Amino acid sequence: MSNEKLTPRSENYSEWYNQVIQRAEMADYAPVRGCMVVRPYGWALWENIQHALDGMFKETGHVNAAFPLFIPMSFLEKEKEHVEGFSPELAVVTIGGGEKLEEPLVVRPTSETIIGYMYSKWIKSYRDLPLLINQWGNVVRWEMRTRLFLRTLEFYWQEGHTAHVSEQEAIEETLRMLEIYTRFATDYAAVPVIPGRKSSSEKFAGAINSYSIEAMMGDTKALQAGTSHMLGQNFAKAFDIQYLDPNNELQYCWTTSWGVSTRFIGAIIMTHGDDQGLIMPPKLAPIQVVIVPIYKNDEERARVMPVVENIRAELASLRVKVDDRSEVTPGFKFNDWEMRGVPLRLEIGPKDVEKGSVMAARRDIPGREGKSFLPQNDILHAVDELLAQIHDALFERAKTFRDSHIQEVNSYEDLVSAVEKGWAYAWWCGNGECEARVKEDTKATTRCIPMDQPEGSGECVVCGKPAHEKVYFARAY
Amino acid sequence: MSNEKLTPRSENYSEWYNQVIQRAEMADYAPVRGCMVVRPYGWALWENIQHALDGMFKETGHVNAAFPLFIPMSFLEKEKEHVEGFSPELAVVTIGGGEKLEEPLVVRPTSETIIGYMYSKWIKSYRDLPLLINQWGNVVRWEMRTRLFLRTLEFYWQEGHTAHVSEQEAIEETLRMLEIYTRFATDYAAVPVIPGRKSSSEKFAGAINSYSIEAMMGDTKALQAGTSHMLGQNFAKAFDIQYLDPNNELQYCWTTSWGVSTRFIGAIIMTHGDDQGLIMPPKLAPIQVVIVPIYKNDEERARVMPVVENIRAELASLRVKVDDRSEVTPGFKFNDWEMRGVPLRLEIGPKDVEKGSVMAARRDIPGREGKSFLPQNDILHAVDELLAQIHDALFERAKTFRDSHIQEVNSYEDLVSAVEKGWAYAWWCGNGECEARVKEDTKATTRCIPMDQPEGSGECVVCGKPAHEKVYFARAY
């Protein structure tokens, strides 16, 4: 709880980010380097994210399970690209029960290997396929430079792992999950994202193709907010995941994996937040509506509180908090809940009681413009409508901001200047050397080759050779 | 999927236990010694357990958060009993990102220490109390002899950690959670439990008092199915968890912790299961009702399936599975779902279509006795009622079994023979030496000093000295 002003985003974006997380009590630094504690307010947001995604996963036939935290070191070594990608980031258990272990155990950085091992035991026939399992859990990657939510040693996520009879089915699954992530970002988090394919150099270690959703943060940097990987038969061959087809012949499966993590909380903070604090998207907000009773004395309080309780009861289907603290002023409360990003504040005072109305203040529109009076009767309907409007307004604002910071460029010079102040959208020949040159010169990387491509072809913005796809370049988190 | 017969419980209980878990696809052995994979059917049960408990926690003002997996070794050493209790069981990370760590990190066996550290940062004033936080997560204890669900290196649980202004409030919280666990076991899992206080030698390492709920398994052994600890000021002093009281004086907090784990799944299996397989308590069952359509040919199928679909739609508020597999017989399906313990099976054939009825078969009552015809109209009501009856019957059966295997004993000789075939209930002076003698002679330990005590006093069943409390002795998992 604090009414201190935040460092403005324009002054120091990264300082603003750290402050808003601390002041809103979303997370805290753990006593272990690079680890975080997700505090109740932050975890409540994650639970709402989990609930939304889990529903979409189950609707599409996925089930949850739990695989072990520890993976034998030898497992990682079975897929060459995979071990190369992850070995610099591993936390390793070498002692168990006071004894040195014969084989060190890796704390999972991701679970393709151990799940692949189990799938090879479980899958016998084509009748066992597709196998569509998801896991909610924690993973560890030994990162050197960490940021709360964005990059921490331990983080929370879901990882889906599926096995299929054919390449075609695996591709469909990979794209289905990309679609679900896009829908989740848009419909629940009000975060506009661009779904697309990652370049070879940016793909998951061990994948044939990786796909991602990319979002623009308030400082115009890009954030990869979810990924979906087509793993081909790489892990099936490494772990011998085979099935008998209808002709009784052994075939290797085709597998996929896909994940969204607590990083998405960082995306929400940096997409919607302003200099007053967080702005929570209404569908995921831990508290959707805060009610602040306004009174000067006990007599007024006695008139106001029954109405407050009525309104709370009417709004029982929403996540509502009544802030009846006596030790702080209404003004303090307003600032406090603005910091925490509660999308809608209702104020109820003696005048409102008389008039049968409630004062509503939108978090996304400061000052008088965001205020309106709602009728006490039919309050649920009025509040639902306002929350839906806030969702749409947040999405539109973020999309307008993003689109105004994407520049379509045709020359290398324009590309270099575009990624200084936003994203560049350009033809690219697909050559890794061109990509590397841009990174070297500007720190911008290819974010994704969007699914939605223009007609025709052009010239690579770097080398000028023929190019058949357009790509986004941007500095990224 | 298997129709093989299980080893009967009377022949080899432990073999029966392992088989039923594998055949019902509840869990599997992981490639790391002592670790398990919880398969989708087992995890669905855990999700239902989580949902029930989480609701009860939230109703009583608790919120969820997430604390780190890794704990600096030095933290554990701050509370003397705690480190002594846990140090033989630790998994230790000594390498991170390819480098040897300066301070080894323990993979949490429980989180009192790291949560205590964070509480000391967060708690300033009496206004911040009580602090009531729960965490759902995984913990690791390096056990030597492991059993699926009952004792595994890694397991899943919830751990509640609360801080209070006074001893009285901490005691109330400890007992409140014991009460919630008792209610959960009884009302959701249909597992009768005895709530009570643990003896000194059986209490949590670092607690003043530990409480548990104790259940009797099908082989009469006891299983501790949930614990709640009053930690006094032990951890508050070790981690400097202090608050300013209303007089502006610094005081140490009083803390508690409490947990239920995936071990509870073992309790459900061994309380209700029979020689045909699992029996799931209806309120927690992943599948509450399975519908098996019965037909001999396409013409019959065409008449039966629309009714099946109607019934499924009527039962939409329940967890229902329609088993329309064509490659196996109805008889195979019956055995399969009996193995998995689905509480209620509905069969619908051409005759049922004509008569407007449905054949219902209770999992808990085999043969004709458990069968009845339900009317197709008002099916939801009839099924709800049957499920409630099954819940009650499971509870009563388990309670009758338990009570008939508890012997009230007044002599050491009777005690020794009682714990061979069940539990003994006896006066105990409270002396650890008496407890140790019983353990030495019979392998039975004190399970709990039940909250519900008889009037008066007696003589210790071991030493004959005055005793003021009665206790349960039993061999335990």
Q: Could B68 and A104 be called an inter-chain contact, meaning their C-beta atoms sit closer than 8 Å?
A: no
Q: pLDDT class for B2, splitting at 50, 70, 90?
A: low
Beta bridge partners, A466, equal: A459
Nearest to A31 among B28, B117, B153 (CB): B117
Closest-CA residue to A68 (of B140, B97, B108, B46): B140
C-alpha dihedral sign at A164, A166, A167, A169: negative
8 A C-beta contact, residue B205 and residue B81:
yes
Nearest to B40 among A64, A75, A154 (CB): A64
Best mutation target among B67, B103, B244 (most A Cβ atoms within 10 Å) is: B67
8 A C-beta contact, residue A133 and residue A63:
yes
Distance CA B324, CA B307 (A): 13
8 A C-beta contact, residue A193 and residue A225:
yes
* Closest Cα in chain A, distance from residue B450 (Å): 33
Sorted by sequence, the CB contacts under 8 Å of residue B119 that are 6+ apart come out as B131, B161, B163, B239, B241, B253, B255
Q: Could A69 and B154 be called an inter-chain contact, meaning their C-beta atoms sit closer than 8 Å?
A: yes
Strands (E), A35-127: 36-38, 63-64, 70-72, 91-96, 99-107
* Closest Cα in chain A, distance from residue B167 (Å): 25
Q: Could A64 and B44 be called an inter-chain contact, meaning their C-beta atoms sit closer than 8 Å?
A: yes
How high is the pLDDT of residue A390? 98
Q: Could B28 and A154 be called an inter-chain contact, meaning their C-beta atoms sit closer than 8 Å?
A: no
Looking at every residue in chain A, the average pLDDT score rounds to 97
8 A C-beta contact, residue A429 and residue A406:
no
Best mutation target among A95, A103, A127, A325 (most B Cβ atoms within 10 Å) is: A95
Closest-CA residue to A434 (of A411, A462, A415, A457): A462
Cα-Cα end-to-end distance for chain A: 28
Looking at every residue in chain B, the average pLDDT score rounds to 97
Closest-CA residue to A186 (of A52, A25, A78, A309): A52
In this prediction the pTM is 0.97
CATH node for A13-272: 3.30.930.10
Q: Could A90 and B89 be called an inter-chain contact, meaning their C-beta atoms sit closer than 8 Å?
A: no
Chain A residue closest in CA terms to B105: A32
8 A C-beta contact, residue B167 and residue B254:
yes
Write down the H helix ranges in A328-429.
330-339, 350-355, 379-404, 412-421
Cα–Cα–Cα angle for A128, A133, A139, rounded to 5 degrees: 145
Chain B residue closest in CA terms to A141: B97
For range B466-472, the mean pLDDT? 98
**A381 has a pLDDT exceeding 70:** yes
How high is the pLDDT of residue B4? 82
DSSP B277: B
Percent of chain A with pLDDT over 90: 97
The answer as to CATH 1.10.40.30 being correct for domain A289-401 is no
Q: At what angle do helices A432-442 and A412-421 cross, to 10 degrees?
A: 50
Chain B residue closest in CA terms to A40: B65
What pLDDT, in 10s, does the model give residues B283-324? 999 999 999 999 999 999 999 999 999 999 999 999 999 999
For range B113-125, the mean pLDDT? 98
Write down the H helix ranges in A229-378.
234-239, 263-272, 298-314, 330-339, 350-355
* Closest Cα in chain B, distance from residue A241 (Å): 15
Beta bridge partners, A344, equal: A289, A362
Length of chain A: 477
Cα–Cα–Cα angle for A412, A417, A420, rounded to 5 degrees: 130
Q: Which two tokens stand for residue B16?
A: 């029966």
Beta bridge partners, A99, equal: A96
**B456 has a pLDDT exceeding 80:** yes
Nearest to A88 among B32, B64, B98 (CB): B98
What pLDDT, in 10s, does the model give residues B183-230? 999 999 999 999 999 999 999 999 999 999 999 999 999 999 999 999
Q: Could A92 and B92 be called an inter-chain contact, meaning their C-beta atoms sit closer than 8 Å?
A: no
Beta bridge partners, A299, equal: none
Q: Could A70 and B44 be called an inter-chain contact, meaning their C-beta atoms sit closer than 8 Å?
A: no
Beta bridge partners, A445, equal: A474
Closest-CA residue to A241 (of A113, A108, A74): A113
Beta bridge partners, A163, equal: A131, A255
Residue type, B274: D
Best mutation target among B25, B29, B41, B43 (most A Cβ atoms within 10 Å) is: B43
Chain A residue closest in CA terms to B91: A96
Q: How many Cβ atoms are within 10 Å of A55's Cβ, its own excluded?
A: 11
* Closest Cα in chain A, distance from residue B271 (Å): 23
Q: Which ranges in chain A are annotated with CATH 3.40.50.800?
A: 289-401
CA atoms within 13 A on the CB side of B257: 23
Cα–Cα–Cα angle for A240, A241, A244, rounded to 5 degrees: 110
For range A89-108, the mean pLDDT? 96
Nearest to A38 among B28, B40, B66 (CB): B66
Q: Could A117 and B31 be called an inter-chain contact, meaning their C-beta atoms sit closer than 8 Å?
A: yes
Q: Could B142 and A96 be called an inter-chain contact, meaning their C-beta atoms sit closer than 8 Å?
A: yes
Chain A residue closest in CA terms to B38: A66
Distance CA A332, CA A1 (A): 9
Reported for A404-407, long-range contacts at CB under 8 A and 24+ positions apart, including other chains, are A405/A216, A405/A220, A406/A216, A406/A472
Q: Any idea of the CA torsion for B150, B153, B154, B156, to the nearest 10 degrees?
A: 20
Sorted by sequence, the CB contacts under 8 Å of residue A18 that are 6+ apart come out as A147, A148
Best mutation target among B92, B144, B146, B151 (most A Cβ atoms within 10 Å) is: B92
For range A151-157, the mean pLDDT? 97
Distance CA B205, CA B271 (A): 28
DSSP B472: E
Closest-CA residue to A310 (of A363, A283, A346, A362): A346
Closest-CA residue to B294 (of B344, B332, B320): B332
Distance CA A177, CA A164 (A): 14
Rg (CA), chain A: 25
Best mutation target among A45, A54, A107 (most B Cβ atoms within 10 Å) is: A107
Chain A residue closest in CA terms to B73: A32
Q: pLDDT class for A241, splitting at 50, 70, 90?
A: very high
**A2 has a pLDDT exceeding 70:** no
8 A C-beta contact, residue A231 and residue A256:
yes
Task: Provide, as residue numbers in chain B, all residues whose Cβ is less than 8 Å from the Cβ of A133.
Answer: 40
Q: Could B91 and A93 be called an inter-chain contact, meaning their C-beta atoms sit closer than 8 Å?
A: yes
* Closest Cα in chain A, distance from residue B405 (Å): 36
Q: Could B43 and A63 be called an inter-chain contact, meaning their C-beta atoms sit closer than 8 Å?
A: yes
Q: pLDDT class for A455, splitting at 50, 70, 90?
A: very high
Nearest to B32 among A89, A105, A121 (CB): A105
Q: Could B32 and A71 be called an inter-chain contact, meaning their C-beta atoms sit closer than 8 Å?
A: yes
**A437 has a pLDDT exceeding 60:** yes
Task: Provide, as residue numbers in chain B, all residues whose Cβ is less than 8 Å from the Cβ of A90.
Answer: 95-98
Nearest to A95 among B94, B98, B122 (CB): B94
How high is the pLDDT of residue B80? 87
8 A C-beta contact, residue A263 and residue A155:
yes
Closest-CA residue to A343 (of A396, A293, A397, A281): A281
Q: Which CATH number fits domain B289-387: 3.40.50.800, 3.40.50.2300, 3.40.50.300, 3.30.930.10?
A: 3.40.50.800
What pLDDT, in 10s, does the model give residues B236-253? 999 999 999 999 999 999
Chain A residue closest in CA terms to B25: A122
Q: Which ranges in chain B are annotated with CATH 3.30.110.30?
A: 406-474
Task: Provide, as residue numbers in chain A, all residues whose Cβ is less than 8 Å from the Cβ of B153.
Answer: 70, 96
Q: Give the three-state DSSP class for B168.
A: helix
Q: At what angle do helices A40-59 and A167-187 cross, to 10 degrees?
A: 140
* Closest Cα in chain A, distance from residue B99 (Å): 9
For range A340-348, the mean pLDDT? 98
How high is the pLDDT of residue B355? 96
Q: How many Cβ atoms are within 10 Å of A122's Cβ, its own excluded?
A: 15
Closest-CA residue to A419 (of A432, A437, A427, A407): A407
**A4 has a pLDDT exceeding 90:** no
Q: Could A37 and B67 be called an inter-chain contact, meaning their C-beta atoms sit closer than 8 Å?
A: yes
CATH node for B406-474: 3.30.110.30
Characterise B456 by phi-psi region: left (phi > 0), alpha (psi -120 to 50), beta (else).
Answer: left
Best mutation target among B26, B70, B125 (most A Cβ atoms within 10 Å) is: B70
How high is the pLDDT of residue A363? 98
Task: Provide, as residue numbers in chain B, all residues whose Cβ is less than 8 Å from the Cβ of A42.
Answer: 65
Sorted by sequence, the CB contacts under 8 Å of residue B172 that are 6+ apart come out as none
Give the H or E element holding residue B17.
Answer: helix B13-23
Q: Could B97 and A104 be called an inter-chain contact, meaning their C-beta atoms sit closer than 8 Å?
A: no
Task: Provide, as residue numbers in chain A, all residues whose Cβ is less than 8 Å from the Cβ of B90.
Answer: 95-98
Best mutation target among B107, B157, B321 (most A Cβ atoms within 10 Å) is: B107
Q: Which ranges in chain A are annotated with CATH 3.30.930.10?
A: 13-272
